[in-house]
Amino acid sequence: MSQEPVPEPDIRLPDAEALGRSMADIAGRSQRLVADWLKRQAAEGVTLDPLNVGSAFMEMTSKLLANPGSLMQAQMGLWRDYMTLWQNTARRIWSGAEPEPVISGDPRDKRFADPAWKQNEIFDFIKQSYLLSARYINDVVTKVDGLEPKTAQKVDFYARQFINALSPSNFALTNPEVLRQTRETGGENLVRGLNNLLNDLEQGRGNLRIKMTDTASFKVGENIAATEGKVIYQNALMQLIQYSPATEQVYARPVLILPPWINKFYILDLRPKNSLVRYLVAQGHTVFMVSWVNPDESLAAKDFDDYMVEGVFDALRMIEKVTKQTRINAIGYCLGGTLLAATLGYMAATGDERIASATFFVTLTDFTDAGEIGVFIDEEQLAALEGKMQKRGYLEGAEMATTFNMLRANDLIWSFVVNNYLLGKEPFPFDLLYWNSDATRMPPAMHSFYLRNMYQKNLLAQPGGITMKGVPIDLGAVTIPLYFLSCREDHIAPWTSTYKGARNFSAAPVRFVLTASGHIAGVINPPDGGKYNHFINDGLPDKPEDWLAGATEIAGSWWPDWQHWVAGFDDARVPARIPGKARGVKVIEDAPGSYVTVKA
């Protein structure tokens, strides 16, 4: 009698010898990492609550306990929802019924995209239990009466961080995709994930620096930041790049771009298909780009005035030398735009007319409502940050990156925890995330001035509130044409706040344009992609809501709108300017230069 073949098991068993070697290596590396980290924590005198979260939650708790009735009501609501969920789950298991969910998540929430979260009764129960608890926590902390607004904002922000961290998708035993992968690979995914975790800890010298993209797939100057040009000037704070022309005739008036120095300039020159620099050159502009240095302790004393003098004014001087033009169109992105705004106030007060028009990309000049970044700006945190910066001579770039990543924790933290550490996969090549991971340091003097005078005190919005080189700054004295580009889903520079800042330039003709998406994707939106629409409104009413209500939605990129706007001021043309050909100007090196390649 023939014997039926034994079916292959659907669970792959790991290689015991290979697993043993991997675990021995992991154990040794873990011990070294923990020992090194503890030494550094002791040396740096790290406090137990550097973000000053504890006091905010203590105040919230005291207010909450003063009104036990509302807390009891919320708990009863949660209990009723849980009982309904239990009943619905039992009906699904025993009778195959498909009752309506007690709570439905956001369909755009990628954490629960796997079909098992809906199709499997147990995972559907886990998901809905989490969503009910998350809603309960959020309702409780956001409806506490009597909290000071800044405290309420901090409690809300960190409660959401807590909620996001406890998502069942972040844990191996409650994530169906991870369980499936573990079953299929015999647990190799978890071993690979542990190795990925240790690699990231080693890269961050004991601090977790999550790898967001395949860094080996990109090289600055080769497949990103590759638009042809030359570095024609440099000083301690910046290199100035002049890009090669793409047309035989160019606009007489050149363009100067001032990117933020919190990140590197090549967000505006990622790849040919989404490079704003390449687009501007193709339109016939002579484009100059400031590439800020990645500062170390030797530049600790550089302040906001230095960034104006050695950044903006040195660039203006060199551009005039190259082009023989006394007036230019300036563009400032984020913090670069804030510097540009302060510089325009200084130039208005001193009679300097070298900037003919100014464009602001997602720029705050009024910090009344600066969004969730304000959570990190209180006296206790600023004092601790200043102490740390003074000790090192700079603010570490990774610390800045973590702050911004926390604003979109599910997308920029937890999705990579699942992919890299639980699924054991390598992240995909993505140019924007490569740029996002290429952090820069901050000089203490400059960064302290910026955080205290802009974010904390909002002095730039007040006439004479700050001084640059001893000159009081009044944005209302600026009279040149201004273009404000803001993004509707911006979590760093909320568009309603950038709108308020635009209105502070009361003497200037202002064009305000609103695009879809966020702080980066809304700006880097080439016409060929046609991905995001934008809104225009020639008026500038008091309230941003009224502006939007009266705005016209235009399909596609805002780039052509800006091109039409800037070309309307001066359409004069001259023969194309070749970098390095101007008399008395020497080429230092090819673009993108050496400053941008310095890692934090």
Q: Is 358 helix (H, G, I), strand (E, B) or coil?
A: strand
Q: What is the mean pLDDT of residues 75-93?
A: 90
Judge whether 453 and 459 are in contact, CB under 8 Å.
yes
Residues 143 and 259 in one domain: no
Residues 164 and 234 in one domain: no
Residues 176 and 253 in one domain: no
Cα(155)–Cα(158) distance, integer angstroms: 5
Residues 179 and 288 in one domain: no
Q: Is 363 helix (H, G, I), strand (E, B) or coil?
A: coil
Q: Is residue 192 part of a domain?
A: no
Q: What is the mean pLDDT of residues 499-508?
A: 96
Q: Is residue 7 part of a domain?
A: no
Q: Is residue 194 part of a domain?
A: no
Residues 57 and 123 in one domain: yes
Higher pLDDT, 30 or 431: 431
Of the candidates 594, 598, 600, 595, the one whose C-alpha atom is nearest the C-alpha of residue 209 is: 600
Q: Is residue 107 part of a domain?
A: yes
Cα(310)–Cα(156) distance, integer angstroms: 40
Q: Is 70 exceeded by the pLDDT of residue 13?
A: no
The pLDDT mean for the chain works out to 89
Residues 147 and 254 in one domain: no
Total of domains in the chain: 2
Q: Is 70 exceeded by the pLDDT of residue 451?
A: yes
Encode pLDDT of 125-145 as tens digits: 999 999 999 898 888 888 777
Which residue among the candidates 334, 335, 362, 492 is catalytic per the annotation? 334
Report the pLDDT value the prediction gives residue 375, as an integer from 0 to 100: 85
Q: Which of 120, 153, 186 is the last residue of a domain?
A: 186
**Cα 530 from chain centroid?**
22
Judge whether 125 and 140 are in contact, CB under 8 Å.
no
CB burial of 8-45 (b: ≥16 within 10 Å; e: otherwise) equals: eeeeeeeeeeeeeebeeeeeebeeebeeeeeeeeeeee
Encode pLDDT of 365-396 as tens digits: 999 988 888 888 888 888 888 998 999 999 98
**Cα 285 from chain centroid?**
28
Q: Quote the Cα angle for 393-399-404, to 5°.
A: 135
Encode pLDDT of 556-576 as tens digits: 999 999 999 999 998 899 999
Higher pLDDT, 36 or 128: 128
* Boundaries of domain holding 64: 25-186
Q: Is residue 224 part of a domain?
A: no
Q: What is the mean pLDDT of residues 494-505?
A: 96
Q: Which of 164, 186, 208 is the last residue of a domain?
A: 186
Report the pLDDT value the prediction gives residue 59, as an integer from 0 to 100: 74
Is 487 annotated in the active site? no
Of the candidates 298, 330, 301, 297, the one whose C-alpha atom is nearest the C-alpha of residue 313 is: 330
Q: What is the mean pLDDT of residues 338-358?
A: 98
Report the pLDDT value the prediction gives residue 43, as an integer from 0 to 100: 60
Report the pLDDT value the prediction gives residue 9, as an integer from 0 to 100: 45
Q: Is residue 330 part of a domain?
A: yes
Report the pLDDT value the prediction gives residue 50, as an integer from 0 to 100: 61
Judge whether 127 and 116 are in contact, CB under 8 Å.
no
Residues 521 and 388 in one domain: yes
Report the pLDDT value the prediction gives residue 14, as an integer from 0 to 100: 52
Cβ-based neighbours of 121, under 8 Å, separated by 6 or more: 89, 92, 93
Q: Is residue 430 part of a domain?
A: no
The secondary structure of residue 224, as a DSSP letter, is B
Token representation of residue 585: 């100007």
Q: Is residue 207 part of a domain?
A: no
List the end-to-end C-alpha distance of the chain, in Å, as a whole number.
72
Cα(355)–Cα(523) distance, integer angstroms: 22
Burial class (CB in 10 A: 0-12, 13-18, 19+), 567: middle
Higher pLDDT, 406 or 38: 406
Report the pLDDT value the prediction gives residue 1, as an integer from 0 to 100: 46
Report the pLDDT value the prediction gives residue 452, as an integer from 0 to 100: 95
